[in-house]
Every structure is written in structure tokens, then in C-alpha cells.
Amino acid sequence: AQSVTQLGSHVSVSEGALVLLRCNYSSSVPPYLFWYVQYPNQGLQLLLKYTTGATLVKGINGFEAEFKKSETSFHLTKPSAHMSDAAEYFCAVSDSGPGGKLIFGQGTELSVKP
């Protein structure tokens, strides 16, 4: 069965500092991997996804993630945090099949200090 583990339920960084949100997955098949962001009282917005091909994936708002098969990781990074990045971030792995479900990690709350 597929699963996702996000290390750290809360991460705090200073504005301008590097953002690193960690995600490890387990999957018996080549995975599809995603990062979503949820702002307060809003739905989830897709930041980026990995399906096949290039292992370094660039997303919206300056975020990127690298798929490392040997480490079963898909960590999210941003070189310089902005106050507007404060939100909840979810890593997810996709099940296979036409009705394939997304299995989410438990989420990481990112705080950005001025």
C-alpha cells in the first residue's frame, strides 16, 4: 500500500530564508507525486507534480521539488521565503487506475517570521 510521511508538522523560517519541507513516500509502483498548498479557509491548490522524466520539478510561486527514487523522497524547497508562503503544505502520492486516489501526508504548517 502507498503511504506518505511528512517530517515535521510545523516548520518556521524567517523571511528570505530557505524553505525545506520534507516528504518521504512508499509505493510498490512508480509513483506520481504531488505537493499541494492550502491557505486558511481555502481549498487545496496544486504547487507541482512529478509523473515521469526530469526529477527536478518546478512549480508555482518559486517552489520546486526533487524526486529521489533511491531515497524515496520528494522534498519541497524554495530559495527565499516570503510572508505570503505561510500556509499548510501537503505531499501526496497517487494510486494507479482511472479512479486513482491521492494519498496525503499529514501536512506541514509553514510559518514565516518577518
Q: Which stretch binds another protein (CB under 8 A): 12-20, 39-47, 61-69, 70-78?
A: 39-47
Q: How many C-beta atoms surround the C-beta of residue 64 within 10 A?
A: 16
Query: In angstroms, rounded to a whole number, what is the distance separating the alpha carbons of residues 55 and 10?
Result: 26
- Tell me: does residue 40 bind another protein (CB under 8 A): no
Residue 49 dihedral angles phi and psi, to the nearest 5° = -145, 150
* Cβ proximity of 79 and 64 under 8 Å: no
Choose, by CB under 8 A, the member of 15, 32, 62, 77 that binds another protein: 32
Choose, by CB under 8 A, the member of 26, 51, 55, 61 that binds another protein: 51
Choose, by CB under 8 A, the member of 76, 90, 110, 112 that binds another protein: 90
Count CA atoms closer than 13 A to 36's CA, side-chain side. 17
# residues near another protein by CB under 8 A = 26
- Tell me: does residue 101 bind another protein (CB under 8 A): yes
Choose, by CB under 8 A, the member of 13, 19, 34, 76 that binds another protein: 34
* Cβ proximity of 103 and 97 under 8 Å: no
Query: In angstroms, rounded to a whole number, what is the distance separating the alpha carbons of residues 24 and 1?
Result: 14
Residue ranges that bind another protein, judged by CB under 8 A: 32, 34, 36, 38, 41-46, 49, 51, 88, 90, 94, 96-104, 106-107
